Amino acid sequence: MPINFHSLVPDFYRHHLETIDSTLKKAGYECYLVGGSVRDLVMNKIPKEYDFTTNAEPKQVKKLFRTVIDTGIDHGTVTIVLDKVNYEVTTYRIDKDYHDGRRPEHVEFGTTLEEDLKRRDFTMNALAFDIQTGRLVDEHFGLKDIENKMIRTIGNPIKRFSEDGLRPIRALRFASTLNFTIETETKKAIQETKSITQKVSLERFQDEILKSFLGDNPAKMIQLLVEENIFPLFVPNLSNSISINLNKINSLNQVSNDLVGMQLAFAFDSLISDLTPKNLESILRSLKFSGQNIKDSLLFLELMNKWYSIGNKNSLSFYQIKKELLAPVKRHFQQRLVIDKSFLNKLFPIFGTHTDTLIQVWEEKHPLLLSDLAVNGNDLAKNFPEFPKTNFGELLNYLLDLVLESPKENEFQRLIIHSAEFINKLSK
């Protein structure tokens, strides 16, 4: 299974990789591309990041390159920066005892590549590639497992998962993003090491979910987390309320991966029947998702609930489309995103074939919010000085409703006339 290094890696990155490789080797050190980047190259994919391993110690690496950051120097890792791109370089290691279920108690630098590969998590990630010679090092039959689409730990899976509680969650994420199967004994070990997995920080767990959302099958990650009963380790009140709605969970795979809020709304709506905004907010806060992701998720859940509640969607009026669907989208996103046809098409997982109607209405540039009205509070104060300002909100909402029904009414003089009529009715 040869690696098409020159054809797969873009020239910009290839130049950097060759520079790092040749610099270390000219100084008398070994250097290999390692881990996920090699796995991706074997699978004929362009890696998102590139990591190296070497027998040079961090202080020696730092002498060879102009810009080097001490990102994990206690564990033998430094980051070389070339043209504002980061490349991690880690010294061969021998991990000693793990006591916290996350990191080794102390690290001993190794002298051989074989020692370093032995400490890695899965066989598919224990591949090393010599850029200069094209030699691929596979000490643990990782190529065979990649060919068979199999996730397998190196050595005893219980021992591996007991060392680092994040590894079982990574196994689930890889099964999702790579569409692989978890080897039987490895999968059994997930259940047997839950007490270690529970020690993983909420932020790391959340990060694995977000990484799975970048793949083609995030629904599989959510399903695996449910099947392995992992969610309750991090959100205890989910233990009795989860049951997968297959139709909804499969829709998750249709969601654009740049709309994390929608992905989260679909994911948890598929797990919890009658999911309320309060419940969703509580879950996402407990998992340490960002405030923006939470706000976005609540908006999308609102849209989904409105859509589910509409009976005959074919009889949906333009007024309903504008007031119930487009107005909330504009209110929420107008300061952050360009709302256009491309963006609205991403709402297809919610609205299905009716998305075209939403786009049609949007492109007609109808007024949707109070800020779109041809009059504002100052105009009302000038024209109706006797009218209590405390009632302006009610009046403006009346005008907006009128304009949503009939956009042609959104002209200054027409709205002033309608305002006078509204005030006269109130005064009778």
Are 51 and 90 contacting, i.e. CB atoms less than 8 angstroms apart? yes
The band of 100, judged by pLDDT with boundaries at 50, 70 and 90, is low
Q: Is the pLDDT of residue 1 over 70?
A: no
Q: What backbone torsions phi and psi does residue 127 show, to the nearest 5 degrees?
A: -100, 145
Residue 175 carries which side chain, given as an amino acid letter? Answer: A
pTM of the model: 0.90
- pLDDT classification of 103: cutoffs 50, 70, 90: low
Chain segment 124-170, per-residue pLDDT in tens: 999 999 999 999 999 999 999 999 999 999 999 999 999 999 999 99
Whether 75 and 57 have beta carbons less than 8 Å apart is answered as no
pLDDT band at 247 (very low <50, low <70, confident <90, very high): confident
Instruction: Give the pLDDT band of residue 240 (cuts 50, 70, 90).
Output: low
Q: Check pLDDT > 90 for residue 196.
A: yes
Helices (H), 65-182: 113-118, 142-147, 157-163, 166-177
Q: Is pLDDT above 80 for 216? A: yes
At residue 412, φ and ψ (nearest 5 deg) are -55, -55
- State residue 107's pLDDT score: 78
- What mean pLDDT is predicted for residues 41-55? 96
Is pLDDT of 312 > 90? Answer: no
Q: What is the mean pLDDT of residues 76-88?
A: 97
What's the CA gap between 242 and 249, in Å, rounded?
12
Whether residue 393 is predicted with pLDDT greater than 70 in this model: the reply is: yes
The whole-angstrom separation of Cα 180 and Cα 172 is 9
Share of the chain above pLDDT 70, in %: 96
